[in-house]
Structure 1
Amino acid sequence: MTSASEAPVKPVILLVDDAPENLFLISSLLKDSYRVKAATGGTRALEILGNSPDVGLILLDVMMPVMDGYQVLQAIKDNPLTRDIPVIFLTALGEGSDTAHGLSLGAVDYLSKPVDAPMLLQRVSQHLRRQSSAA
């Protein structure tokens, strides 16, 4: 039970996108209910995951330089310490084959950009609840 002096611990979300404006927009949507860690690329995201065992969900862009989202997801799934963290792809790619590919690699969901704020908040909440009930 949380005492009056302790605030409830907010779930941690790792947001990965190479566009600073997307990081700002999505962080702004999430910051009231979640602690948001942001990375501007796949390499940085993997560094954060290595140092942050408290990440509960990852929002991952697909189209990024150096490492695309599919490569980042593969690295996450290959690591026993991170493979169970749910990953939601956020992308401008809208083809069914893109969605199928992301889901086949282990993503739990796929949301299109531009982000629909109520949908994003609903899906984040839904996947975090699933994750906490599975733990």
Structure 2
Amino acid sequence: MYTGIPTSELFIVRFELMNDIQIKYYAGWNVQLIPNVDQLLITLMKLRLNLPHEYLSIRFNCSTATVTNIIMTWIYTLDEVIFVHLMKTIPSRQINQACLPAAFTNYKNSRIILDSTEIYSTVPASMENQRLAYSSYKH
């Protein structure tokens, strides 16, 4: 509910994927009183709900500077785990070119399509702006 991850078991699985990553804190000082699993929770709550740092600091009994340090650190850590490590398993452009679908002939530099990204937006009042925001791909 707070993170977008459906169950606590899946949350723990995602957390365990990051056990081998060396965490280098953004602000240069380590956060020792908040367990790493809660630090990930803080970050995902911020990303999912855009909660104010003040609210998160009260909820997790720490300062807003600590919340900022945690969020910035874990965003870089998530980038390391999700992007850098994932990209090592993505085929090269040359290999992708050999099996590129016809629909992607105009996108020869594409290496991967992420079909799980969903961005919510406010529905514009004017029909013209609604038309501009509409995605035929998703409908």
Same fold per TM (> 0.5)? no
The structure with more radius of gyration: 2
- Using structure 2 for the length normalisation, give the TM-score: 0.26
The TM-score, its normalising length taken from structure 1, stands at 0.26
Structure (1 or 2) with the greater helix fraction: 2
Structure number having the greater strand percentage: 1
